[in-house]
A and B are shown apart, each in its own frame.
Chain A
């Protein structure tokens, strides 16, 4: 590694001349306010962007949570109505049969409903 150059005497003088010119140039007066203002502006923008994305994430989470709640409530109601249909065959026997998509099962269900209805009538 070369860390000191074998420069001749005139180069030492040049080096001294250059060193003395080091403080000749300086930053213009408007650079400081420009830099600080831009930095503050950028930080504010960054903060706003971060808040926007945080809010968007919260809204998305709430949406997903609400939709899952609604879905769960719907399926619970569906299950309840299904049980109720089986519990009181006189009230909705046709709907229960209609819910089954398989025709053979529909027939079985209708037949069962019919037997239940007959049994109910005989009991009366």
Chain B
């Protein structure tokens, strides 16, 4: 079972990913389960924001992790394995989206595998609204929003992962957030006229 995503601070989480990847390098494929449990949910939600389809996102995550299991030395000289892993998944997700041409805007969330605890049932509606709104963003803006808010990375770190300047990352974030705010407001108006 994959670990909840918000247990650690970003630094702590990155350190745990480093430990897992060190273990993967030392032990081999048998240590992949540990890395999967630690990162899968985060990687899937990041890739889902990019591909706009959870099945494609999971395929991208699977390809990246399987490749990593076969070539753990890829992480040997990497300063931040978590950033590297995010970049690997991003590359796979973009390649998959290009191949399948599924990058069309879709507000249907039927493909999503969701989890909503009983005490959070009232939040389900707003969660769905957020994911619907996120899907309407261009992938370049959606990925920055995901990395900034859910992964709590700085614009410098985001810029490194996406190979853009921190200023570009910041401006994409601003554009993305403005669009999300207006779309969420519209959705709220539709629900409560």
Q: Which of A2, A11, A28, A34 has the most chain B CB atoms inside 10 A of its CB?
A: A2
Is A7 part of the contact surface with B, judged by Cβ < 8 Å? yes
A39 x B66 contact (CB < 8 A):
yes
Is B26 part of the contact surface with A, judged by Cβ < 8 Å? no
A17 x B130 contact (CB < 8 A):
yes
A43 x B150 contact (CB < 8 A):
no
With A14-B180, A17-B184 as given contacts, are A25 and B28 in contact (CB-CB < 8 Å)? no
A25 x B112 contact (CB < 8 A):
yes
B69 x A31 contact (CB < 8 A):
no
A24 x B29 contact (CB < 8 A):
no
- Give chain B residues whose Cβ lies under 8 Å from the Cβ of A3: 154-156, 166, 170
State in angstroms the CA–CA spacing of A17 and B131 once bound together: 11
Cβ-defined partner of B29 (8 Å) among A11, A19, A43:
A43
Q: Contact string, A36-58, partner B, CB cutoff 8 A, digits 1/0?
A: 10111011001000000000000
With A1-B167, A3-B155, A21-B131 as given contacts, are A27 and B6 in contact (CB-CB < 8 Å)? no
- Which residue of chain A is the closest to B123 with respect to CB atoms? A20
State in angstroms the CA–CA spacing of A17 and B6 once bound together: 15
Is B93 part of the contact surface with A, judged by Cβ < 8 Å? no
Cβ-defined partner of A43 (8 Å) among B6, B28, B126, B134:
B28
Contact-residue size bin, chain B (C-beta under 8 Å from the other chain)? 35 or more
- Which residue of chain B is the closest to A13 with respect to CB atoms? B181
Is A22 part of the contact surface with B, judged by Cβ < 8 Å? yes
B150 x A24 contact (CB < 8 A):
no
- Give chain A residues whose Cβ lies under 8 Å from the Cβ of B21: none
With A3-B154, A22-B149, A23-B4 as given contacts, are A38 and B66 in contact (CB-CB < 8 Å)? yes
- Closest chain-B Cβ to A22's Cβ sits at a distance in Å of 5
A18 x B58 contact (CB < 8 A):
no
B180 x A28 contact (CB < 8 A):
no
- Give chain B residues whose Cβ lies under 8 Å from the Cβ of A20: 123, 126-127
- Closest chain-B Cβ to A41's Cβ sits at a distance in Å of 9
- Give chain A residues whose Cβ lies under 8 Å from the Cβ of B17: none
State in angstroms the CA–CA spacing of A42 and B72 once bound together: 13
Is B94 part of the contact surface with A, judged by Cβ < 8 Å? no
- Closest chain-B Cβ to A92's Cβ sits at a distance in Å of 65
The interface of chain A, by Cβ under 8 A from chain B, is 1-3, 5, 7, 10-11, 14-15, 17-28, 31-32, 34-36, 38-40, 42-43, 46
Ordered by A's residue number, 9 sampled pairs between the chains whose C-beta atoms are within 8 Å are A2-B166, A5-B177, A10-B181, A11-B178, A24-B112, A26-B2, A27-B44, A35-B62, A43-B69
Given contacts A2-B170, A24-B130, A39-B66, 7 further A-B contacts (CB under 8 A): A7-B177, A10-B181, A14-B180, A17-B130, A26-B44, A26-B113, A32-B36
